[in-house]
C-alpha cells in the first residue's frame, strides 16, 4: 500500500513521534501560524507543480509512556490552496478540489508506532468526499518552552497518495496520479 493523503498525513505527522519525554498524555492544539501541508505533483509529465494548503486546525495527544496511544485529528481548508499563482489556485479550487462541495479535507489517526528514531502514523484521510486509510512517515522535530510561556511540539510527516484513490479521474498523465505530501505540524500544549 502506498503512503497516503494530504492533510491526513500532515495531521498524523504532528501527533506522532515525541522523543522528548513527558510523564503523562498531553493534548496539543495545532498552531495554524506554524503548520501547513505541502504537495508536489507531476504537471503532465513535463515538470513538477508544488504548492501548499495554508489553513488547518486540529489537536493531537502524545504520551511518552505509551506512544501507541497518541492520537491526532486535523482538518485542512482546501480553499487555502496556494501554488504561488492566483489563476492556477482558482482553477485548482474549482476544477480539482471542488471547494464549494468539499471545503475541507480531514485526517483522524487510528494507530501510531515508533521504532528508534522513526515513526509511522496510520489513519483515515477524507478528501474529495472519499475516506481511505493512509500511512505517514513521521519525524519528531523538537519540543520545549516557547518565549511566551507555552510548551510546543513539532513534527514533519511525509506520504504519497494516489489521486485516483480519492475519485479524481482527470487524465493528467500516469505520473500525475501520485501526490507527494509533506505535513509540518507544530502544536501548543493546552
User: What average pLDDT does the segment 84-110 reach?
Assistant: 95
Whole-number pLDDT of residue 23: 58
What does the block give as the cell for 177?
496520479
Phi, psi of 55 (to 5 degrees): -120, 130
Report pTM. 0.84
Mean predicted lDDT score pLDDT of the chain? 88
pLDDT reading at 8 higher than 80: no
Q: Give the DSSP letter of residue 181.
A: E
List the Cα angle 90/108/52 in 5-degree steps. Answer: 30
Domain boundaries, the chain: 6-189
The three three-digit cell numbers of residue 43, written as one number? 504537471
Single out the residue of 53, 61, 76, 83 nearest to residue 17, CA to CA: 61
Q: Which of 70, 119, 130 is nearest to 97 (CA)?
A: 130
Given a cut of 50, is residue 189 above it in pLDDT?
Answer: yes
6-189, which class in CATH? Answer: mainly beta
117-166: per-residue pLDDT in tens?
789 999 999 999 999 999 999 999 999 999 999 999 999 999 999 999 99
What's the confidence (pLDDT) of residue 17?
41
Q: Comparing C-alpha atoms, which of 142, 138, 86 is closest to residue 116?
A: 138
Q: Is the pLDDT of residue 3 over 70?
A: no
Q: Which residue has the cell 498525513?
A: 9
Structure-block grid coordinates of residue 54: 495554508
pLDDT in tens, 20-78: 444 589 999 999 999 999 999 998 888 999 999 999 999 999 998 998 999 999 999 99
Give the HSE-up count for residue 37: Cα atoms under 13 Å, Cβ half-sphere. Answer: 36
Report the share of the chain in percent with pLDDT over 70: 87
Amino acid at each position: 500500500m502506498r503512503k497516503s493523503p494530504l492533510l491526513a498525513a500532515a495531521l498524523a505527522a504532528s501527533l506522532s513521534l515525541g522523543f522528548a519525554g513527558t510523564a503523562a498524555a498531553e493534548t496539543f492544539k495545532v498552531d495554524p501560524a506554524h503548520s501547513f501541508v505541502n504537495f508536489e505533483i507531476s504537471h503532465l509529465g513535463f515538470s513538477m507543480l508544488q504548492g501548499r494548503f495554508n489553513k488547518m486546525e486540529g489537536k493531537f495527544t502524545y504520551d511518552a509512556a505509551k506512544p501507541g496511544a497518541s492520537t491526532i485529528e486535523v482538518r485542512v481548508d482546501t480553499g487555502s490552496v496556494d501554488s504561488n499563482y492566483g489563476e492556477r489556485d482558482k482553477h485548482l479550487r474549482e476544477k480539482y478540489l471542488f471547494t464549494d462541495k468539499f471545503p475541507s479535507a480531514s485526517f483522524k489517526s487510528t494507530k501510531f508506532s515508533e521504532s528508534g528514531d522513526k515513526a509511522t502514523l496510520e489513519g483515515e484521510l477524507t478528501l474529495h468526499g472519499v475516506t481511505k486509510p493512509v500511512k505517514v512517515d513521521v519525524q519528531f522535530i523538537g519540543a520545549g518552552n516557547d518565549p511566551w510561556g507555552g510548551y510546543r511540539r513539532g513534527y514533519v510527516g511525509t506520504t504519497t497518495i494516489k489521486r485516483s484513490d480519492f475519485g479524481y479521474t482527470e487524465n493528467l498523465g500516469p505520473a500525475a496520479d501520485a501526490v507527494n505530501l509533506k505535513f509540518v505540524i507544530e502544536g501548543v500544549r493546552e
